[in-house]
Each structure stands twice: as structure tokens, then as C-alpha cells.
A = this chain, B = another copy of it.
Amino acid sequence: MNIGIIGLGLIGGSISLGLRKSNFGDKFLGIDSNKENAIHAVKLGIVDKIISFQDLIIQSSVIILSIPVDGIKKILPIILNKISNDTVILDTGSTKYEICNSVYSHPKRSRFVATHPIAGIENSGPEYAHSDLFHKKNCILCDSELSDPDAIFIVEKIYSIMDMRMIYITSKEHDFYISYVSHLPHVVSFSLASTVLERFKNEKKFFNNMRGSGLDSTTRLAKSNPETWLPIFISNKNNLIQAMDVYIDHLKIFRKYLRKKEFHQIDRYIKKANDIK
């Protein structure tokens, strides 16, 4: 069974390395729009060779789409048009509703499995890929009732090999919940970095002298790349705006307590927040 991977960055690369470590799959074929990444991916043993889009589709039994979500939405119907009735295609996008919706009525919809392996770091590119990125993490499978059982079986096997736990929800639920636990933290981080960088733009020395590990962890996600994150924000715009509204309200409540010197309320606020584990 050949595995075709479109997008040889952190996620695609890590899936490939994870599967190869377990001797799952025969040949690994790859495509990346970034030539350097493609060369790098071959050198790192992520794929055996780089081939054309056409050949990848013909030669692969499983096609893994690990490119930004706007790319997935664009290319998925094209691939479904071309694949055989046995090919399985899965994506790893961080938003799911638009992607699922874009192929809802496609005659080959059932060959597609919508997945989101909840794993990632702030760095991107094949050089950061590693075989155990997904170890003991969760993988969300969305709208799985629309996929053929044999396709689901293969996808479950792929993620199980990498020691992931499968969760089944709708793409709509996925996008709602993930806007709070992933997309909002990214916005929080980008905005904090933006605030601090602007404040210290003429005082870099002070900045470097005063910063500590607290700022570092809170802005870790702010290093994430726009090629991945802008399409995610766009495709989950409405949920994200709602989550931001709630978050800004929470900040404003904290600020109000501070302004009005309602310090016992801040004490309660902190104690509640401490419940995050």
C-alpha cells in the first residue's frame, strides 16, 4: 500500500515518520509546493520520492492532505474527482466544517475522512517533524457517518499506530469547541506579542532585561506561521469572533474589578482560573 502525502511540513512529515517507524505502508510519495521543503523531506526520509500530482493520485492507496485549510478546501474536490473507488483520502486541517461542507454532495464523498490530529508546535516545516509528535494525543474524526466503513477503518489504523485516541464528533461541533481551545489561544498570543513589541519598539534593551519565562510561554504560539493560521482564522471566523467577544468580556470584568478596587472579586477570579489543569 503506497501512501501519498500532499504537504510535507510538520504534520504531514510527522505522520509519515510515525507510519514508517511502524513499518506501515510501502512506498511514501510526496508533494510540497515549497521546493526546499520537498528536497528536505526526501533527505529526512519523510518520503521516498517527490512525484507529480497526477502520479501521486494514481499510485497511492491512501492520500494524506496536510496543507493549510484553504488549500485543502480547494484541492479536495479535485482529488475526489480523480481517485479510484478504493482510494482513501484524509485531511489533517485544524478547521473542519468548511472542508466537509465543500464536498458534502460529491459522489465520492464517502472515500474522504475528515480528521484533526490535535498536535502541533509553534515551528513549521519538515525539519521539525518527528515520529512521536502524535503519541498519546487525541485525534478528532468529523462527520464520520459520511465516510465508508473501510475508509474509516484505514484511518483509525493509521492514527492508532501513532498511539492516538480517536474521538468522533460533527464538523460543526469541532469548529465551535476548537475555536476556544486552540484558535483563541493563538489570537491571545499574537495580540500579546503585538502589544509588547509595540510598547518596547524603541526600548529593546529594557525589553530584553525585563522579560521572563512567563512572557515566553504566553507568547509561544505567537511564533506560529501566517500561512497556516490566517486560513484557519478565516475559515472559523464566526466561532472565533464569538470566542473573542467572550474573552474580551472576561478581561473587561477583571479590569473593572481592578478599577473599582473590588479585590475580593479578583481573588475569586484567580482561584477559579487556577482550576485549569
Give the CA-CA distance A269 to B194 in the complex, in Å: 8
Pick from B190, B220, B252, B266: contact of A269, CB below 8 A.
B190
Binding site for B on A (CB under 8 A): 118-121, 137-138, 140, 167, 169, 173-174, 177-178, 180-182, 184-200, 203, 206-207, 209-215, 217-226, 229-230, 233-234, 237, 240-241, 243-248, 250-252, 254-255, 258-259, 261, 263, 266-267, 269-276
- Taking CB atoms, residues of chain B closer than 8 Å to A178 are 210
Top 6 A-B pairs ranked by shortest CB distance?
Answer: A193-B276, A193-B273, A226-B270, A185-B218, A190-B273, A118-B212
Of the listed residues A174, A177, A251, the one surrounded by the most CB atoms of chain B closer than 10 A to its CB is A251
Asked whether, in the complex, the Cβ of B252 is within 8 Å of the Cβ of A119, the reply is no
Closest chain B residue, CB of each to CB of A177? B210
- Taking CB atoms, residues of chain B closer than 8 Å to A137 are 212
Asked whether, in the complex, the Cβ of B213 is within 8 Å of the Cβ of A121, the reply is yes
Q: Could you pull out 11 A-B pairs where Cβ atoms are within 8 angstroms?
A: A120-B212, A177-B210, A180-B199, A188-B188, A194-B269, A198-B246, A199-B243, A218-B220, A225-B274, A230-B270, A251-B251
Q: Tell me if A's interface is mostly helix, strand, loop or mixed.
A: helix
- Taking CB atoms, residues of chain B closer than 8 Å to A197 are 272-273, 275-276
Give the CA-CA distance A257 to B265 in the complex, in Å: 33
Asked whether, in the complex, the Cβ of A192 is within 8 Å of the Cβ of B181, the reply is no
Pick from B177, B196, B243: contact of A195, CB below 8 A.
B243
- Beyond A140-B210, A237-B261: 8 further Cβ-contacts under 8 Å? A119-B212, A138-B209, A177-B206, A180-B196, A189-B218, A217-B218, A218-B218, A237-B258
Closest chain B residue, CB of each to CB of A218? B185
Pick from B214, B241, B272: contact of A185, CB below 8 A.
B214
**A124 to B: closest C-beta gap in Å:** 11
- Taking CB atoms, residues of chain B closer than 8 Å to A248 are 248, 251-252, 255
Asked whether, in the complex, the Cβ of A210 is within 8 Å of the Cβ of B195, the reply is no
- Taking CB atoms, residues of chain B closer than 8 Å to A177 are 200, 203, 206-207, 210
Give the CA-CA distance A188 to B185 in the complex, in Å: 10
- Taking CB atoms, residues of chain B closer than 8 Å to A181 are 196, 207, 210-212, 214-215
